[in-house]
Amino acid sequence: PPDQHWLFGSFLPVRNDLLNFYTRMFRELGDIIRFRGLPGLYWHLVLHPAYVEHVLLRNQQNYRKGKVFDGPIGLITGNGLLTSDGDFWRRQRKLMQPSFHRQALTGFVTTMAAETETLFARWDAHAHRGEPFDVAQEMAALTLGIAGLTLFSTPVGESADAFGQNLRTAFDFVGFKMRPTLPVPLWVPTPSNLRFKAARRRLDAVVYQIIERRRKTLNPPPDLLTMLMAARDEDTGEAMSDLQLRDEVITLLLAGHETTAITLTWAFYVLTQEPVVAERLYEEVRSVLRGAEATVEDLRRLPYTRMVIEETMRLYPPAWGLPREAINEDEIGGYYIPGRTLVALNQFLTHRHPDFWEDPERFDPERFSPERAVGRPMFAYFPFGGGQRVCIGSQFALMEATLVLAMLTQRYRFKLVPGHPIEFDTLFTLRPKHGVRVICERRAGE
Protein backbone atom coordinates (compact mmCIF):
# COMPACT_ATOMS: atom_id res chain seq x y z
CA PRO A 1 0.00 0.00 0.00
CA PRO A 2 1.12 3.60 -0.60
CA ASP A 3 2.49 5.60 2.31
CA GLN A 4 0.29 6.76 5.04
CA HIS A 5 -0.34 10.41 5.32
CA TRP A 6 0.35 11.88 8.72
CA LEU A 7 -2.40 14.30 9.35
CA PHE A 8 -0.90 15.82 12.42
CA GLY A 9 -0.57 19.53 11.72
CA SER A 10 -3.01 19.32 8.80
CA PHE A 11 -5.99 19.89 11.03
CA LEU A 12 -6.65 23.44 9.83
CA PRO A 13 -6.69 22.77 6.09
CA VAL A 14 -8.92 19.75 6.69
CA ARG A 15 -11.30 21.66 8.87
CA ASN A 16 -11.65 24.43 6.32
CA ASP A 17 -11.59 22.60 3.06
CA LEU A 18 -11.89 18.86 3.24
CA LEU A 19 -12.66 18.40 -0.45
CA ASN A 20 -9.56 20.29 -1.62
CA PHE A 21 -7.40 18.39 0.80
CA TYR A 22 -8.80 15.03 -0.36
CA THR A 23 -8.30 16.02 -4.01
CA ARG A 24 -4.61 16.75 -3.39
CA MET A 25 -4.20 13.47 -1.53
CA PHE A 26 -5.93 11.51 -4.30
CA ARG A 27 -3.53 12.93 -6.89
CA GLU A 28 -0.52 12.10 -4.73
CA LEU A 29 -1.51 8.78 -3.21
CA GLY A 30 -4.20 7.10 -5.30
CA ASP A 31 -7.11 4.76 -4.75
CA ILE A 32 -7.05 4.24 -1.02
CA ILE A 33 -5.37 6.46 1.51
CA ARG A 34 -4.86 6.01 5.22
CA PHE A 35 -4.88 9.16 7.31
CA ARG A 36 -3.42 9.20 10.77
CA GLY A 37 -4.25 11.89 13.26
CA LEU A 38 -3.80 11.73 17.00
CA PRO A 39 -2.63 8.35 18.30
CA GLY A 40 -5.32 5.78 17.70
CA LEU A 41 -7.33 8.07 15.43
CA TYR A 42 -7.23 7.24 11.79
CA TRP A 43 -9.41 6.78 8.79
CA HIS A 44 -9.32 5.62 5.20
CA LEU A 45 -10.38 7.45 2.09
CA VAL A 46 -11.57 4.81 -0.36
CA LEU A 47 -11.84 5.85 -4.01
CA HIS A 48 -11.49 2.89 -6.36
CA PRO A 49 -14.93 1.69 -7.64
CA ALA A 50 -14.14 -1.92 -6.67
CA TYR A 51 -13.39 -0.84 -3.11
CA VAL A 52 -16.52 1.32 -3.01
CA GLU A 53 -18.49 -1.72 -4.12
CA HIS A 54 -16.88 -3.72 -1.33
CA VAL A 55 -18.03 -1.19 1.30
CA LEU A 56 -21.49 -0.39 -0.05
CA LEU A 57 -22.51 -3.76 -1.41
CA ARG A 58 -20.37 -6.88 -1.08
CA ASN A 59 -19.39 -6.49 2.54
CA GLN A 60 -22.06 -3.97 3.50
CA GLN A 61 -23.02 -5.83 6.67
CA ASN A 62 -19.66 -4.79 8.09
CA TYR A 63 -20.25 -1.07 7.54
CA ARG A 64 -22.67 1.20 9.29
CA LYS A 65 -23.25 4.88 9.00
CA GLY A 66 -21.68 5.50 12.37
CA LYS A 67 -21.43 8.49 14.60
CA VAL A 68 -20.10 11.01 12.08
CA PHE A 69 -23.31 10.68 10.15
CA ASP A 70 -25.92 9.78 12.75
CA GLY A 71 -24.96 12.10 15.54
CA PRO A 72 -25.24 15.47 13.82
CA ILE A 73 -27.97 14.65 11.32
CA GLY A 74 -29.94 12.74 13.94
CA LEU A 75 -30.21 16.01 15.90
CA ILE A 76 -32.82 17.06 13.40
CA THR A 77 -34.11 13.88 11.77
CA GLY A 78 -34.33 11.85 15.00
CA ASN A 79 -34.85 8.21 14.18
CA GLY A 80 -35.80 8.78 10.53
CA LEU A 81 -34.77 6.52 7.67
CA LEU A 82 -31.54 8.37 6.90
CA THR A 83 -30.10 7.98 10.38
CA SER A 84 -31.69 4.91 12.00
CA ASP A 85 -29.93 1.55 11.95
CA GLY A 86 -30.41 -2.18 12.44
CA ASP A 87 -33.83 -3.78 12.78
CA PHE A 88 -35.58 -0.50 13.37
CA TRP A 89 -34.25 0.90 10.09
CA ARG A 90 -35.15 -2.34 8.26
CA ARG A 91 -38.75 -2.15 9.47
CA GLN A 92 -39.09 1.49 8.45
CA ARG A 93 -37.51 0.92 5.04
CA LYS A 94 -39.96 -1.91 4.37
CA LEU A 95 -42.88 0.26 5.42
CA MET A 96 -41.81 3.17 3.25
CA GLN A 97 -40.36 1.48 0.17
CA PRO A 98 -43.69 0.94 -1.69
CA SER A 99 -44.48 4.67 -1.53
CA PHE A 100 -41.32 5.40 -3.54
CA HIS A 101 -41.75 2.96 -6.37
CA ARG A 102 -41.77 4.60 -9.76
CA GLN A 103 -45.37 3.63 -10.27
CA ALA A 104 -46.51 5.18 -6.98
CA LEU A 105 -44.78 8.42 -7.93
CA THR A 106 -46.34 9.04 -11.32
CA GLY A 107 -49.24 10.90 -9.71
CA PHE A 108 -46.78 13.53 -8.51
CA VAL A 109 -45.66 14.60 -11.97
CA THR A 110 -48.66 16.90 -12.38
CA THR A 111 -47.87 18.60 -9.06
CA MET A 112 -44.23 18.98 -10.04
CA ALA A 113 -45.18 20.50 -13.40
CA ALA A 114 -47.74 22.86 -11.86
CA GLU A 115 -45.24 24.10 -9.28
CA THR A 116 -42.64 24.68 -12.00
CA GLU A 117 -45.17 26.72 -13.93
CA THR A 118 -45.54 29.09 -11.00
CA LEU A 119 -42.00 30.31 -11.77
CA PHE A 120 -42.94 31.47 -15.26
CA ALA A 121 -44.51 34.81 -14.31
CA ARG A 122 -41.53 35.87 -12.20
CA TRP A 123 -38.90 34.61 -14.65
CA ASP A 124 -40.72 36.25 -17.55
CA ALA A 125 -40.52 39.53 -15.67
CA HIS A 126 -36.79 39.03 -14.99
CA ALA A 127 -36.27 38.15 -18.65
CA HIS A 128 -38.21 41.18 -19.81
CA ARG A 129 -36.16 43.56 -17.66
CA GLY A 130 -32.86 41.72 -18.26
CA GLU A 131 -32.60 41.39 -14.48
CA PRO A 132 -30.12 38.89 -13.00
CA PHE A 133 -31.32 36.44 -10.36
CA ASP A 134 -29.93 33.54 -8.36
CA VAL A 135 -30.99 30.16 -9.73
CA ALA A 136 -29.86 28.45 -6.51
CA GLN A 137 -32.45 30.36 -4.49
CA GLU A 138 -35.15 29.79 -7.06
CA MET A 139 -34.49 26.05 -7.18
CA ALA A 140 -34.39 25.75 -3.37
CA ALA A 141 -37.81 27.42 -3.15
CA LEU A 142 -39.21 25.33 -6.02
CA THR A 143 -38.07 21.95 -4.70
CA LEU A 144 -39.22 22.85 -1.19
CA GLY A 145 -42.62 23.76 -2.64
CA ILE A 146 -42.75 20.43 -4.48
CA ALA A 147 -41.64 18.53 -1.36
CA GLY A 148 -44.35 20.20 0.75
CA LEU A 149 -47.10 19.41 -1.76
CA THR A 150 -46.09 15.84 -2.55
CA LEU A 151 -45.33 14.99 1.07
CA PHE A 152 -48.25 16.54 2.89
CA SER A 153 -50.24 18.63 0.39
CA THR A 154 -49.26 21.85 2.11
CA PRO A 155 -47.91 24.77 0.11
CA VAL A 156 -44.94 25.44 2.35
CA GLY A 157 -43.96 27.68 -0.52
CA GLU A 158 -46.44 30.26 0.78
CA SER A 159 -44.75 30.40 4.13
CA ALA A 160 -41.51 29.27 2.54
CA ASP A 161 -39.67 32.20 3.94
CA ALA A 162 -40.16 31.14 7.56
CA PHE A 163 -40.33 27.39 6.97
CA GLY A 164 -37.46 27.34 4.51
CA GLN A 165 -35.37 29.58 6.76
CA ASN A 166 -35.87 27.29 9.74
CA LEU A 167 -35.04 24.28 7.64
CA ARG A 168 -31.89 25.93 6.36
CA THR A 169 -30.79 27.11 9.83
CA ALA A 170 -31.20 23.55 11.09
CA PHE A 171 -29.44 22.09 8.06
CA ASP A 172 -26.45 24.45 8.26
CA PHE A 173 -26.04 23.66 11.92
CA VAL A 174 -25.95 19.95 11.14
CA GLY A 175 -23.34 20.53 8.41
CA PHE A 176 -21.22 22.53 10.84
CA LYS A 177 -21.47 19.77 13.43
CA MET A 178 -20.25 17.19 10.92
CA ARG A 179 -16.84 18.79 10.84
CA PRO A 180 -14.22 17.95 13.43
CA THR A 181 -15.08 20.72 15.88
CA LEU A 182 -15.01 20.80 19.65
CA PRO A 183 -17.98 18.74 20.78
CA VAL A 184 -20.17 21.29 22.55
CA PRO A 185 -23.30 19.49 23.77
CA LEU A 186 -26.64 20.83 22.68
CA TRP A 187 -27.70 21.86 26.18
CA VAL A 188 -24.92 24.49 26.38
CA PRO A 189 -26.64 27.78 25.53
CA THR A 190 -24.27 28.96 22.80
CA PRO A 191 -25.87 31.27 20.21
CA SER A 192 -25.70 28.59 17.49
CA ASN A 193 -27.20 25.91 19.77
CA LEU A 194 -30.03 28.25 20.72
CA ARG A 195 -30.69 29.20 17.11
CA PHE A 196 -30.75 25.56 16.09
CA LYS A 197 -33.12 24.54 18.87
CA ALA A 198 -35.51 27.38 18.10
CA ALA A 199 -35.55 26.41 14.39
CA ARG A 200 -36.16 22.76 15.26
CA ARG A 201 -39.00 23.69 17.63
CA ARG A 202 -40.74 25.73 14.93
CA LEU A 203 -40.35 23.00 12.32
CA ASP A 204 -41.74 20.40 14.72
CA ALA A 205 -44.73 22.57 15.53
CA VAL A 206 -45.66 22.84 11.85
CA VAL A 207 -45.16 19.12 11.16
CA TYR A 208 -47.09 17.94 14.22
CA GLN A 209 -49.94 20.28 13.33
CA ILE A 210 -50.10 18.77 9.84
CA ILE A 211 -50.13 15.20 11.23
CA GLU A 212 -52.77 16.05 13.82
CA ARG A 213 -55.08 17.61 11.24
CA ARG A 214 -54.57 14.65 8.94
CA ARG A 215 -55.68 12.22 11.64
CA LYS A 216 -59.02 14.02 11.73
CA THR A 217 -59.52 14.15 7.96
CA LEU A 218 -62.00 11.73 6.44
CA ASN A 219 -60.81 12.11 2.85
CA PRO A 220 -57.03 12.41 2.98
CA PRO A 221 -55.30 13.66 -0.18
CA PRO A 222 -53.17 11.19 -2.20
CA ASP A 223 -49.80 12.31 -0.89
CA LEU A 224 -46.80 10.62 0.72
CA LEU A 225 -48.01 11.34 4.27
CA THR A 226 -51.27 9.51 3.55
CA MET A 227 -49.29 6.54 2.20
CA LEU A 228 -46.99 6.54 5.22
CA MET A 229 -49.91 6.75 7.65
CA ALA A 230 -51.64 3.85 5.91
CA ALA A 231 -48.54 1.62 5.92
CA ARG A 232 -48.67 -1.30 8.38
CA ASP A 233 -45.88 -3.46 9.72
CA GLU A 234 -46.12 -6.91 8.12
CA ASP A 235 -45.60 -8.78 11.38
CA THR A 236 -47.29 -6.66 14.01
CA GLY A 237 -49.85 -4.79 11.90
CA GLU A 238 -48.75 -1.59 13.63
CA ALA A 239 -48.78 1.85 12.01
CA MET A 240 -46.18 4.57 12.63
CA SER A 241 -46.52 6.72 15.75
CA ASP A 242 -46.76 10.52 15.49
CA LEU A 243 -43.16 10.80 16.62
CA GLN A 244 -41.99 8.36 13.93
CA LEU A 245 -44.06 10.15 11.29
CA ARG A 246 -42.49 13.44 12.38
CA ASP A 247 -39.00 11.97 12.04
CA GLU A 248 -39.75 10.57 8.57
CA VAL A 249 -41.40 13.75 7.32
CA ILE A 250 -38.46 15.91 8.45
CA THR A 251 -36.06 13.32 6.97
CA LEU A 252 -37.80 13.36 3.59
CA LEU A 253 -37.90 17.17 3.57
CA LEU A 254 -34.21 17.40 4.34
CA ALA A 255 -32.97 14.53 2.22
CA GLY A 256 -35.22 15.37 -0.67
CA HIS A 257 -35.42 19.04 -1.35
CA GLU A 258 -31.92 20.44 -1.05
CA THR A 259 -30.18 17.68 -3.01
CA THR A 260 -32.55 18.01 -5.96
CA ALA A 261 -32.31 21.82 -5.85
CA ILE A 262 -28.51 21.61 -6.02
CA THR A 263 -28.59 19.19 -8.94
CA LEU A 264 -30.81 21.57 -10.89
CA THR A 265 -28.73 24.59 -9.95
CA TRP A 266 -25.54 22.96 -11.24
CA ALA A 267 -27.39 21.84 -14.38
CA PHE A 268 -28.35 25.44 -15.16
CA TYR A 269 -24.79 26.54 -14.47
CA VAL A 270 -23.54 23.92 -16.93
CA LEU A 271 -25.97 25.13 -19.59
CA THR A 272 -24.47 28.62 -19.35
CA GLN A 273 -21.03 27.12 -20.04
CA GLU A 274 -21.88 24.51 -22.66
CA PRO A 275 -23.80 26.08 -25.56
CA VAL A 276 -23.74 22.87 -27.62
CA VAL A 277 -25.30 20.86 -24.81
CA ALA A 278 -27.85 23.63 -24.19
CA GLU A 279 -28.99 23.64 -27.82
CA ARG A 280 -29.12 19.87 -28.11
CA LEU A 281 -31.20 19.79 -24.93
CA TYR A 282 -33.56 22.39 -26.31
CA GLU A 283 -33.98 20.48 -29.57
CA GLU A 284 -35.01 17.37 -27.66
CA VAL A 285 -37.34 19.19 -25.30
CA ARG A 286 -39.16 21.14 -28.02
CA SER A 287 -39.74 17.98 -30.02
CA VAL A 288 -41.37 16.27 -27.03
CA LEU A 289 -43.18 18.82 -24.87
CA ARG A 290 -46.53 20.12 -26.01
CA GLY A 291 -47.67 23.35 -24.39
CA ALA A 292 -46.18 24.39 -21.10
CA GLU A 293 -46.76 21.19 -19.14
CA ALA A 294 -44.85 17.94 -19.15
CA THR A 295 -46.40 14.53 -18.41
CA VAL A 296 -45.09 11.14 -17.28
CA GLU A 297 -45.09 9.88 -20.88
CA ASP A 298 -43.04 12.91 -21.92
CA LEU A 299 -40.43 12.06 -19.30
CA ARG A 300 -39.77 8.70 -20.95
CA ARG A 301 -39.12 10.48 -24.22
CA LEU A 302 -36.44 12.80 -22.86
CA PRO A 303 -33.31 10.60 -22.76
CA TYR A 304 -30.86 13.41 -23.44
CA THR A 305 -32.37 15.61 -20.71
CA ARG A 306 -32.01 12.71 -18.31
CA MET A 307 -28.37 12.22 -19.36
CA VAL A 308 -27.68 15.92 -18.74
CA ILE A 309 -28.97 15.43 -15.18
CA GLU A 310 -26.87 12.29 -14.72
CA GLU A 311 -23.72 13.96 -16.03
CA THR A 312 -24.40 16.97 -13.80
CA MET A 313 -24.51 14.65 -10.78
CA ARG A 314 -21.26 13.04 -11.93
CA LEU A 315 -19.29 16.30 -11.87
CA TYR A 316 -21.30 17.95 -9.08
CA PRO A 317 -22.64 15.19 -6.84
CA PRO A 318 -24.87 16.87 -4.22
CA ALA A 319 -23.89 14.20 -1.69
CA TRP A 320 -20.17 14.45 -2.36
CA GLY A 321 -18.95 12.02 0.29
CA LEU A 322 -20.31 9.15 2.38
CA PRO A 323 -18.84 8.28 5.74
CA ARG A 324 -19.00 4.70 7.03
CA GLU A 325 -17.73 3.01 10.14
CA ALA A 326 -16.21 -0.49 9.94
CA ILE A 327 -17.88 -2.69 12.55
CA ASN A 328 -15.25 -5.44 12.55
CA GLU A 329 -11.78 -5.53 11.04
CA ASP A 330 -11.57 -5.86 7.29
CA GLU A 331 -9.12 -5.58 4.42
CA ILE A 332 -9.46 -3.23 1.47
CA GLY A 333 -6.92 -2.92 -1.32
CA GLY A 334 -4.14 -4.40 0.78
CA TYR A 335 -4.89 -2.20 3.76
CA TYR A 336 -5.82 -3.61 7.13
CA ILE A 337 -8.95 -1.78 8.31
CA PRO A 338 -9.36 -2.10 12.07
CA GLY A 339 -12.88 -2.36 13.49
CA ARG A 340 -14.57 0.87 14.62
CA THR A 341 -12.58 3.10 12.27
CA LEU A 342 -13.95 5.49 9.69
CA VAL A 343 -14.02 4.66 6.00
CA ALA A 344 -14.79 7.68 3.83
CA LEU A 345 -16.21 7.27 0.32
CA ASN A 346 -16.12 10.24 -1.98
CA GLN A 347 -18.37 10.54 -5.01
CA PHE A 348 -16.72 13.76 -6.15
CA LEU A 349 -13.34 12.07 -6.62
CA THR A 350 -14.49 8.61 -7.76
CA HIS A 351 -16.72 10.30 -10.36
CA ARG A 352 -13.60 12.01 -11.75
CA HIS A 353 -11.31 9.00 -11.53
CA PRO A 354 -9.18 9.10 -14.72
CA ASP A 355 -9.00 5.29 -14.97
CA PHE A 356 -12.77 5.04 -15.40
CA TRP A 357 -13.77 8.30 -17.03
CA GLU A 358 -12.18 9.49 -20.22
CA ASP A 359 -11.31 13.18 -20.05
CA PRO A 360 -13.03 13.28 -16.66
CA GLU A 361 -13.38 17.06 -16.28
CA ARG A 362 -15.29 17.38 -19.56
CA PHE A 363 -19.10 17.68 -19.42
CA ASP A 364 -20.30 14.97 -21.78
CA PRO A 365 -23.87 13.70 -21.16
CA GLU A 366 -23.54 10.87 -23.67
CA ARG A 367 -21.23 9.00 -21.36
CA PHE A 368 -24.52 7.80 -19.93
CA SER A 369 -25.83 6.40 -23.18
CA PRO A 370 -26.25 2.60 -22.96
CA GLU A 371 -23.49 2.02 -25.55
CA ARG A 372 -20.86 4.03 -23.76
CA ALA A 373 -21.77 2.80 -20.29
CA VAL A 374 -20.80 -0.76 -21.24
CA GLY A 375 -17.89 -2.07 -19.17
CA ARG A 376 -17.88 0.76 -16.64
CA PRO A 377 -17.77 -0.57 -13.08
CA MET A 378 -21.07 -0.13 -11.22
CA PHE A 379 -19.57 2.00 -8.47
CA ALA A 380 -17.64 4.38 -10.70
CA TYR A 381 -20.86 6.39 -10.36
CA PHE A 382 -22.92 6.42 -7.16
CA PRO A 383 -24.64 9.78 -6.63
CA PHE A 384 -27.40 7.99 -4.71
CA GLY A 385 -25.13 5.69 -2.69
CA GLY A 386 -25.67 1.95 -3.03
CA GLY A 387 -26.50 -1.34 -1.38
CA GLN A 388 -29.31 -1.55 1.12
CA ARG A 389 -28.94 2.10 2.18
CA VAL A 390 -29.29 3.40 -1.37
CA CYS A 391 -31.36 6.60 -1.66
CA ILE A 392 -35.05 5.78 -1.39
CA GLY A 393 -35.94 8.94 -3.33
CA SER A 394 -33.73 8.45 -6.40
CA GLN A 395 -36.67 7.91 -8.80
CA PHE A 396 -38.48 10.86 -7.29
CA ALA A 397 -35.38 13.05 -7.70
CA LEU A 398 -34.65 11.97 -11.28
CA MET A 399 -38.25 12.53 -12.30
CA GLU A 400 -38.36 15.95 -10.70
CA ALA A 401 -34.99 17.13 -12.00
CA THR A 402 -35.65 15.94 -15.57
CA LEU A 403 -39.09 17.54 -15.63
CA VAL A 404 -38.03 20.90 -14.20
CA LEU A 405 -34.97 21.13 -16.45
CA ALA A 406 -37.06 20.30 -19.51
CA MET A 407 -39.85 22.78 -18.75
CA LEU A 408 -37.49 25.66 -18.02
CA THR A 409 -35.20 24.92 -20.98
CA GLN A 410 -38.19 24.91 -23.27
CA ARG A 411 -39.02 28.46 -22.28
CA TYR A 412 -35.68 30.14 -21.49
CA ARG A 413 -32.07 30.52 -22.54
CA PHE A 414 -29.55 31.31 -19.77
CA LYS A 415 -26.35 33.35 -19.42
CA LEU A 416 -24.14 33.48 -16.35
CA VAL A 417 -23.77 37.04 -15.03
CA PRO A 418 -20.28 38.05 -16.28
CA GLY A 419 -17.65 37.69 -13.58
CA HIS A 420 -19.92 35.78 -11.23
CA PRO A 421 -17.60 33.62 -9.08
CA ILE A 422 -18.24 29.87 -8.93
CA GLU A 423 -16.77 28.14 -5.90
CA PHE A 424 -17.73 25.08 -3.90
CA ASP A 425 -19.29 25.26 -0.48
CA THR A 426 -18.78 21.79 0.95
CA LEU A 427 -20.20 22.36 4.41
CA PHE A 428 -22.61 19.51 3.94
CA THR A 429 -23.87 19.13 0.39
CA LEU A 430 -21.95 20.45 -2.63
CA ARG A 431 -23.45 23.91 -3.05
CA PRO A 432 -22.21 26.77 -5.22
CA LYS A 433 -20.87 29.12 -2.54
CA HIS A 434 -22.14 32.34 -4.11
CA GLY A 435 -25.19 30.87 -5.82
CA VAL A 436 -25.48 30.89 -9.61
CA ARG A 437 -26.54 34.31 -10.86
CA VAL A 438 -27.97 34.24 -14.36
CA ILE A 439 -29.78 36.40 -16.84
CA CYS A 440 -32.47 34.55 -18.74
CA GLU A 441 -34.09 35.24 -22.07
CA ARG A 442 -37.47 34.04 -23.31
CA ARG A 443 -37.10 31.79 -26.33
CA ALA A 444 -38.95 33.10 -29.34
CA GLY A 445 -42.22 31.28 -29.95
CA GLU A 446 -42.26 29.39 -26.62
When asked if residue 255 is in the footprint of ligand HEM (CB under 6 A), the reply is: yes
When asked if residue 432 is in the footprint of ligand HEM (CB under 6 A), the reply is: no
Using CB under 6 A, which of the segments 31-39, 235-243, 327-335, 381-389 binds ligand HEM? 381-389
When asked if residue 409 is in the footprint of ligand HEM (CB under 6 A), the reply is: no
Specify burial of residue 201 (Cβ count, 10 A radius: 0-12, 13-18, 19+). exposed
Among 391, 430, 436, 439, binds ligand HEM (CB under 6 A): 391
263 vs 341 by CB, closer to ligand HEM: 263
7 vs 264 by CB, closer to ligand HEM: 264
When asked if residue 270 is in the footprint of ligand HEM (CB under 6 A), the reply is: no
Instruction: Return d(Cα 86, Cα 8) in angstroms, integer.
Output: 35
CB-side exposure of 34: number of CA atoms within 13 Å? 17
When asked if residue 54 is in the footprint of ligand HEM (CB under 6 A), the reply is: no
Using CB under 6 A, which of the segments 169-177, 288-296, 318-326, 417-425 binds ligand HEM? 318-326
Using CB under 6 A, which of the segments 118-126, 186-194, 256-264, 406-414 binds ligand HEM? 256-264
Binding to ligand HEM in span 107-146, by CB under 6 A: none
When asked if residue 256 is in the footprint of ligand HEM (CB under 6 A), the reply is: yes
169 vs 251 by CB, closer to ligand HEM: 251
**Rg for the chain, CA atoms, rounded:** 22
Using CB under 6 A, which of the segments 184-192, 288-296, 378-386, 407-415 binds ligand HEM? 378-386
Number of residues that bind ligand HEM (CB under 6 A): 23
Among 81, 112, 144, 403, binds ligand HEM (CB under 6 A): 81
Using CB under 6 A, which of the segments 169-177, 362-370, 393-401, 407-415 binds ligand HEM? 393-401
Residues that bind ligand HEM (CB under 6 A): 65, 81-82, 93, 251-252, 255-256, 259-260, 263, 318-319, 322, 383-385, 389, 391-393, 396-397
